[in-house]
Amino acid sequence: MTVTVLGLETSCDETAAAVVTSDGDVLSDVVRSQVAIHAPYGGVVPEVAARDHAVALPEIVTRALASANRELRDVDGIAVTNRPGLAGALLVGLLTAKGLAWGAGKPLIGVDHLVGHLLAVFLRREGATPPPAFPFVALLVSGGHTAIYRVDGSRLDDIQELGATRDDAAGEAFDKVAKLLGLGYPGGPVVDRLAARGIASRAPVTLPRPMAGRAGFEMSFSGIKSAVARHVERNGVPEGDALEDLCAAFQETVVEVLVSKTLGATKAEGLGRIVLGGGVAANRGLRKRMTEAAATRGIEVFIPPLASCTDNAAMIAYTGALSLARGETSPLDLTPSTKTALLRVTRKGGGRR
């Protein structure tokens, strides 16, 4: 039976609502970004994010329902991101979802944000290609999370972490390097654009590839960022071609780590399908390198449209709809959490394991 769900997403700095079916049909998807609000601070300010969610969310929900030509009574349930994310931001979305569910007599479904990203490839929206079959290896790479998973299905216990970053997420490293280079926030897209015009081999600094030759699928990106910081401290911020070359070298280094670790995990699992998810999956260098490297090994790569890569409520609504179709719901005393429900195998920090 197909069910239709209203989904809410407020885990970080996007206020979003969407109406999606358990078949993956996106009936509406409304996203309001807070980038302009946080840009003066060079990053997301949790209290500012939560307050803006509280102001914006009622209108975003109204727009999502209207765009889907639905009223609240027409949906079968209310899905909401309840983990992981910023505590205050999550709380705004969760309290709103509880109020809507209680008032309309609809079931509430809590959704793990990371599971949403891993299943976003199944959303049927403009520009989407046919999705993969299970199982597949997924690289989830964003500003807050970077990990490789084996995905055998849509349930929590169908998803196994194979390796993750010990320190900075890849997207976080992009933003920090962009800040060091005076490129503004968010920095990832700017670095990507400059890197496309640069030549990595011409860069004035050699960047390390942490853990590149080590067995296993754990990653580290703080050392790459630190190498850029030391170079800037000694030589100042480069300009012109030198800036483009440095961005190209940084991006190439990060991308090579992500690609090599993901391909290694895919080989170890004996699978032939890779899915990219998360905001950094929009990076042109990563998409190109992963696709090319996988093709030489006979591996298919599935990359969702940009709207499904960045934070959105459609992936939350879809994941919630699958849960509801299985008869799985959440109690009204559901609480937010800053940690994912997915089992972690990678311990943060350096040192021997």
Compute the average pLDDT of residues 326-340: 97
Range of the domain at 21: 4-121+308-325
Counted domains in the chain: 2
How long is the chain?
353
For 120-159, the pLDDT digits (tens) are 999 999 888 999 999 999 999 988 899 999 999 999 999 9
Domain identity same for 142 and 90: no
Domain identity same for 253 and 151: yes
Domain identity same for 111 and 161: no
Give me the sign of the Cα torsion angle 104, 107, 112, 118. Answer: negative
| Domain-located, residue 339 | no
Domain identity same for 316 and 282: no
Spell out the residues 6+ positions from residue 52 whose beta carbon is closer than 8 angstroms to its own: 15, 34, 37
Spell out the residues 6+ positions from residue 208 whose beta carbon is closer than 8 angstroms to its own: 223, 224, 227, 253
For 44-76, the pLDDT digits (tens) are 999 999 999 999 999 999 999 999 999 999 999
* 46 phi, psi to nearest 5 deg: -55, -45
| Domain-located, residue 228 | yes
Decide if 147 contacts 348 (C-beta within 8 A): no
Q: Where residue 160 falls among pLDDT bands split at 50, 70, 90? A: very high
Q: Where residue 209 falls among pLDDT bands split at 50, 70, 90? A: confident
**Local structure of residue 90 (DSSP, 8 states):** H
CA-closest candidate to residue 283, choices 261, 253, 243, 238: 253
Parallel/antiparallel/unpaired status of strands 300-302 and 26-33 = unpaired
What b/e sequence results for 83-114 when a residue is b if at least 16 CB atoms lie within 10 Å of its CB, and e otherwise?
Answer: bbbbebbbbbbbebbbebbeeeebbbbbbbbb
Domain identity same for 293 and 314: no
Domain identity same for 211 and 100: no
d(CA 129, CA 123): 9
The reply to whether the predicted model has a pTM over 0.75 is yes
Asked if the model's pLDDT at residue 258 lies above 60, the reply is yes
| Domain-located, residue 57 | yes
Q: Where residue 206 falls among pLDDT bands split at 50, 70, 90? A: confident
Compute the average pLDDT of residues 80-92: 98
Domain identity same for 156 and 114: no
Domain identity same for 148 and 284: yes
Look at residue 349 in the predicted model and tell me its pLDDT: 64
Compute the average pLDDT of residues 105-109: 98
Compute the average pLDDT of residues 71-95: 98
Structure tokens at 181: 């280079």
Q: What's the mean per-residue pLDDT of the chain? A: 94
| Domain-located, residue 221 | yes
Structure tokens at 107: 């079931």
CATH number for the domain including 42?
Answer: 3.30.420.40
d(CA 258, CA 269): 17
